[in-house]
């Protein structure tokens, strides 16, 4: 019996690349059929301001295996993924960006590993043709992830991973402010690493702004690790002990030699240092408290406006 691979494609202002993306999917369908795999495509339009939705509807009308889901506005790539998980019908599933930087053709290789028994297969970047600032940020980001969150996380990270349906309930029920790749790695399934080179972006301008990268970085660290709080607490303890020693020295000096005024600058510097550490610790606590609040306040991660499936639009995502 033929099994199904579901592919989620978050779309945000990707109108220029969608035609070629559809052609790439058409190319791999024959290879997937040879593996007794059918293909389900789940496109999630995350509030695009261009003609992406119209192009997606055209693709859906030509394909019996495609679903197009439209968000009411832009909720972000992670929210688009979480929406896509609701529509997965396949025995295995994955997500891939619509900008064609990650090679669609490698989906066949991932599928072969799944058929061979791997429940979690990831495309690991060996090289990337991104601008220098993006590469520098990525280098620092993944070093910190390995240091603070998971020491065995791939050094260059990954965005594309094919997962067995066994992982689907966990991905669907994951917290709001998370990094899906780190979360999938955290589940503990032994990853099969498949190296590849990330291509240079050929269409449009990336919506992955510096602000979104910073937020993603914070979610990646504070969503999975208590280490930042513990490191700062340790720093506070060291400074507190040093301050105690300094205080004893100042009091002893005052008792023996009197209290000279020249010691005031050092005291002011010490107070400033302690105040800074207190503010940092308060900020760290705030990051964790915000994530708890955001998780329990029932705010939806993404709101579905309309779903195009079987050539019929519907507002009911369960149909």
Q: Is 53 in the same domain as 36? A: yes
Q: Is 53 in the same domain as 94? A: yes
**pLDDT of 34 over the 90 cut:** yes
In the prediction, which pLDDT does 263 show? 61
What pLDDT band is residue 77 in, cutting at 50, 70 and 90?
Answer: confident
State the Cα–Cα distance between residues 230 and 278, nearest whole angstrom.
14
Inside any domain, residue 152: no
Question: What average pLDDT does this structure show over 212-239?
Answer: 73
Q: Is 276 in the same domain as 307? A: no
**pLDDT of 282 over the 70 cut:** yes
Q: Is 37 in the same domain as 79? A: yes
Q: Is 99 in the same domain as 234? A: no
Q: Is 25 in the same domain as 109? A: yes
Inside any domain, residue 292: yes
Q: Is 259 in the same domain as 178? A: no
What pLDDT band is residue 50 in, cutting at 50, 70 and 90?
Answer: very high
In the prediction, which pLDDT does 53 show? 95
**pLDDT of 165 over the 70 cut:** yes
State the Cα–Cα distance between residues 64 and 309, nearest whole angstrom.
8
Distances (CA, A) of 302 to 16, 71, 222: 24, 7, 21
Give the burial class of 241: count Cβ atoms within 10 A of its Cβ; 0-12 exposed, 13-18 middle, 19 or more buried. Answer: exposed
283-292 pLDDT tens trace: 777 777 777 7
Question: What average pLDDT does this structure show over 137-155?
Answer: 82
Inside any domain, residue 122: yes
What pLDDT band is residue 167 in, cutting at 50, 70 and 90?
Answer: very high
Higher pLDDT, 145 or 34: 34
**pLDDT of 52 over the 80 cut:** yes
Q: Is 59 in the same domain as 197? A: yes
Q: Is 191 in the same domain as 289? A: no
State the Cα–Cα distance between residues 217 and 206, nearest whole angstrom.
17
How many structural domains does the chain have? 2
State the Cα–Cα distance between residues 74 and 48, nearest whole angstrom.
7
Range scoring the smallest mean pLDDT among 132-146, 179-193, 253-267: 253-267
Question: What average pLDDT does this structure show over 306-317?
Answer: 74
Q: In terms of residue numbers, what domain contains 170?
A: 3-126+157-205+302-314
What pLDDT band is residue 231 in, cutting at 50, 70 and 90?
Answer: confident
Q: Is 56 in the same domain as 193? A: yes
């Amino acid at each position: 019996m033929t099994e199904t691979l579901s592919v989620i494609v978050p779309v945000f202002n990707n109108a220029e690349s969608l035609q070629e993306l559809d052609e790439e999917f058409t190319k791999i369908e024959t290879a997937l059929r040879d593996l007794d795999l059918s293909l389900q495509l789940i496109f999630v339009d995350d509030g695009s301001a261009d003609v992406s939705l119209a192009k997606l509807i055209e693709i859906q009308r030509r394909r019996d295996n495609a679903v197009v889901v439209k968000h009411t506005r832009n909720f972000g790539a992670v929210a688009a993924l979480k929406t896509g998980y609701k529509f997965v019908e396949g025995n295995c599933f994955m997500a891939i960006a619509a900008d064609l930087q990650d090679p669609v053709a490698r989906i066949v290789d991932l599928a072969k590993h799944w058929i061979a028994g791997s429940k979690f297969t990831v495309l690991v970047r060996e090289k990337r043709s991104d601008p220098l600032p993006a590469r520098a940020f990525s280098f620092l980001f993944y070093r910190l992830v390995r240091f603070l969150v998971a020491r065995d996380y791939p050094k260059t990270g990954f965005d594309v991973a094919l997962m067995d349906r066994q992982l689907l309930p966990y991905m669907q029920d994951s917290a709001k402010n998370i990094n899906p790749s780190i979360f999938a790695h955290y589940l503990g399934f032994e990853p099969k690493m498949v190296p590849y080179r990330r291509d240079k972006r050929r269409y449009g301008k990336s919506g992955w702004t510096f602000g979104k990268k910073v937020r993603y970085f914070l979610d990646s660290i504070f969503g999975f690790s208590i280490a930042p709080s513990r490191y700062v607490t340790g720093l506070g303890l060291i400074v507190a002990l040093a301050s105690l020693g300094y205080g004893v020295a100042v009091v002893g000096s005052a008792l023996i030699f009197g209290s000279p005024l020249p010691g005031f600058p050092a005291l002011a510097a010490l107070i400033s240092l302690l105040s800074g550490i207190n503010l940092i610790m308060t900020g760290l606590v705030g990051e964790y408290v915000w994530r708890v609040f955001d998780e329990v306040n029932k705010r939806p991660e993404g709101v579905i406006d309309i779903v195009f499936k079987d050539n019929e639009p519907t507002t009911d995502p369960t149909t």
